[in-house]
Copies of this chain bind each other. A is one copy, B any other.
Amino acid sequence: MLGETDLNECFDPNADRLQEECGVFGVLGHEDASALTALGLHALQHRGQEAAGIVTYDNDQFRAERHLGLVGDHFSNAETMARLTGMAAIGHVRYSTSGETILRNVQPLFAELEGGGISICHNGHFTNAMTLRRQLIQDGAICQSTSDSEVVLQLLARSREKKIVDRFVEAISKMEGAYALVALTRKKLIGARDPFGIRPLVLGDLNGAPVLASETCALDIIGATFIREIENGEVIVCTPGGIESFFPFGKRPARPDIFEYIYFSRPDSILGGRSVYDVRKEFGRQLAREAPVEADVVVPVPDSGVPAALGYSQEAGIPFELGIIRNHYVGRTFIEPTQAIRTLGVKLKHSANRSQIEGKRVVLIDDSLVRGTTSVKIVQMIRDAGASEVHFRLSSPPIRYSDYYGIDTPVREKLLAAKYNLEEMRNYIGADTLAFLSVDGVYRAMGHEGRDKTNPQFTDHCFTGDYPTPLTDLSEEQEFAHPPRLVEVS
């Protein structure tokens, strides 16, 4: 039975999804640096839709445009681009996971340094940022934002190292957590990835100009060649003279976030040497092997469930049909409904394609199950459209633990798989059968024998509770009273 809050979620098209985190981009030595960055951010828009920013350096000043909204809303005309002068640029798209959604938290951030300046943007989350922030404030730092990313900038500004790269390394060496960082100084474009390589970062080349981006799809849009991924724990420094690479924390096995494959990355991106689309189809194939069912049609929850549904369909030999139509005009908010409207059970984002559903046994495929509030409505919609059976299949394991590395997950108590067992979940969702891909199934679809319990190949704490780094803020934060801060009320 749905409560008031859950009913309201019918009207929030993004409710009950893991929210994407952030995307970063940088380019050095191209006369269209800002336009290329806008295009790259556009390709990374799925990683963050709340705000976008670009900072350039034009050999005189750093220049910034930072806005709430989509890339195309604010970086869409020649005039804006013309103001962002310079041959070097970095940019950021953001879905706020820490820090309020206010303009001063929009990245890239900037610090004026003695005789220089540095701008930074960040995908991920530092798990000790609030602890360090308290120490910095005790030490006289003024933090203008409430973003965890500003801590890197404060540490960098206070470093006594002479060279800016040394300052950068000193700063990130104090940070725990997951990060892909891109920074711009007067002469350098810097990229860095956390020691486990949790968040992705790739290097490309556009006619000799180095490009850094969260995903390869941002290289594709500008026609840049994909060179390689930045390695876990690597710091890469691009100058007009060439590219240098450092491993300031030594080398260790990578452990990228499995959720990039399951949900976050764009299907046409190449990650860890594999097509994300192919991996998702493999999840679907593996799911078909683990949880087969006799049925008439395989229907994806669009758009995220499509590749897995195609894989399931092909493996199971059951026809794939678009049994749910997605309305692409759904904005981020739509209509605060009256009670009368609410009881109509309006679906703004999805509608059943009755001709493909009616009288059929339906295998419904989605990529993940978070709180289940949307799933319960989609299953009901399929039933209302006349399905004789609904078999709900998820192409990832049950999500039982919250994320602290830059993914916006509900608190544990809200996670359906954290409070219910399989049968309880099936009953809640209202499906005839319910099945998840197994954890080992995920690894098998990725080409492994299964999960290496001693050295897991991926960051998979949402399924396993196995967090790769300390969670300092989480343990510390109980002890500190919430300090008064500045709230921009408009």
Contacts and interface: CB of A to CB of B under 8 A. Distances in A.
Interface of A: 31-32, 35-36, 38-39, 42-43, 45-46, 49, 55, 57, 60-67, 70-78, 80-81, 83-84, 104, 110-117, 119, 134, 137-138, 140-144, 153-154, 157-159, 186, 217, 220-223, 266-268, 270, 275, 277-278, 303, 306-307, 310, 314, 319-322, 325, 327-331, 333-338, 340-341, 344-348, 351-356, 481, 483-490
Contacts of A117: 483-486
Contacts of A32: 338, 340-341
Contacts of A157: 137, 140-142
Stoichiometry, copies per complex: 4
5 contacts: A62-B484, A63-B489, A65-B489, A78-B335, A217-B351
B335 A489 contact: no
A72 B334 contact: yes
A1 B355 CA distance: 43
Contacts of A72: 329-331, 333-335
Contacts of A159: 140
B154 A61 contact: no
Given A75-B335, A322-B267, A351-B221, A142 B137 contact: no
B348 A42 contact: yes
A430 B67 CA distance: 41
Nearest to A55: B486
Contacts of A221: 346-348, 351
A325 B266 contact: yes
A333 B49 contact: no
B76 A277 contact: no
A387 B67 CA distance: 40
B353 A487 contact: no
Contacts of A267: 322, 325, 353
A274 B344 CA distance: 25
A291 B66 CA distance: 51
Nearest to A49: B329
Contacts of A142: 111-112, 141-142, 144, 153-154, 157
B483 A223 contact: no
A140 B158 contact: yes
B329 A46 contact: yes
Contacts of A141: 140-142, 157
A159 B142 CA distance: 12
A142 B254 CA distance: 34
B63 A487 contact: yes
Given A157-B141, A344-B223, A486 B70 contact: no
A341 B220 contact: no
A134 B115 CA distance: 9
Nearest to A71: B329
Contacts of A488: 64-66
Nearest to A36: B341
Nearest to A111: B142
A486 B268 contact: no
Contact of A112 (B38, B70, B137, B347): B137
A351 B268 contact: yes
